[in-house]
Amino acid sequence: GDSVTQMEGPVTLSEEAFLTINCTYTATGYPSLFWYVQYPGEGLQLLLKATKADDKGSNKGFEATYRKETTSFHLEKGSVQVSDSAVYFCASLKAGSYQLTFGKGTKLSVIP
């Protein structure tokens, strides 16, 4: 079945550091890919998405590019802020399906 694998956390960075959270997927066909963010005590918020190969999703300074050849959707941000501290979930949605498959999440802590 489909699966999503994220780098294990926690990840601790200093403010203004560069962030990469790795995500790879296994799926039949070409799924849509998502990054969701969960701030402390809150539900999941859609951060960005990409629906086809080579698409780049971006929002709030975060970016991720759908790489079919490496089945990856790594999340990046050039300069993190303390307010970015949260848990980040990578997810895939099989084409023509409603079934979201989530990774286990990566906790990011940004210190001043």
Partner 1 sequence: EAGVVQSPRYKIIEKKQPVAFWCNPISGHNTLYWYLQNLGQGPELLIRYENEEAVDDSQLPKDRFSAERLKGVDSTLKIQPAELGDSAVYLCASSLDLTGTQYFGPGTRLTVL
- Please name every residue paired with 59 in a beta bridge, in sequence order, or none if there are none: 62
17 counts as binding partner 1 under rule CB under 8 A: no
Judged by CB under 8 A, does residue 100 bind partner 1? yes
Greatest CA separation for the chain: 43
Neighbouring residues of 42: CB distance < 8 A, sequence distance ≥ 6 = none
| Residue 74 or 92 with smaller CB distance to partner 1 | 92
- Minimum separation from the CB atom of position 50 to partner 1 (A): 12
The one-letter code for the residue type at 3 is: S
Stretches 11-19, 66-74, 78-86, 98-106: which one binds partner 1 (CB under 8 A)?
98-106
Where in 35-54 is the site for partner 1 (CB under 8 A)? 36, 42-46, 49
Q: Which residues have CB under 8 Å from 91's CB, separation 6+?
A: 4, 33, 34, 35, 36, 100, 101, 102, 103
Interface residues with partner 1 (CB under 8 A) are 4, 34, 36, 42-46, 49, 89, 91, 93, 96-100, 102-105
